[in-house]
Amino acid sequence: MNARILGDEAEREGKAGATLVTKRFFSLDGKTYEDGTLPAKTKELLGLVASMVLRCDDCIAYHVDQCVKVGVSDEELWESFDVALIVGGSIVIPHLRRGVEFLDQARAAVAASGSNPG
């Protein structure tokens, strides 16, 4: 989907694409999660907690996937889930359940690919 939004005309198959504002936002978002004073791993966990509190399942899936890619352990993820529960309250529970489903899917995909994340 990002190619459809951000790609060149060939990638978009001649359809309209992102404005300069959208492209800059996507760039800023990507750069925000790069290593800095805070490592990417910490930033992804922060993004995951915020996504759970905001109850954005697409965001939770994305950040769980990114957490797996940067080598976050299951224990670290579970502690982050705890933070989200405390901050967001019981309304977060359905999103925690989906987060666990996403985690299981991400771990299964890594196992199936034979790759070693992080």
Q: Span 25-52, mean pLDDT? A: 96
Backbone φ and ψ for 47, nearest 5 degrees, come out as: -60, -40
* Domains in the chain: boundaries: 1-31, 33-113
Predicted TM-score (pTM) of the model is 0.87
- CA 73, CA 70: separation in Å to the nearest integer? 9
Q: What is the DSSP letter of 114?
A: T
Q: Is residue 118's pLDDT more than 80? A: no
In CATH, which superfamily holds the domain spanning 33-113? AhpD-like (1.20.1290.10)
8 A C-beta contact, residue 12 and residue 3: yes
CA 68 to CA 105: how far, in whole Å?
11
**Cα(68)–Cα(76) distance, integer angstroms:** 11
User: Could you report the per-residue pLDDT of 93-115, keeping only the tens digit for each?
Assistant: 999 999 999 999 999 999 999 87
Write out the two tokens for 107. Answer: 């771990």
Average pLDDT score over residue span 78-91: 98
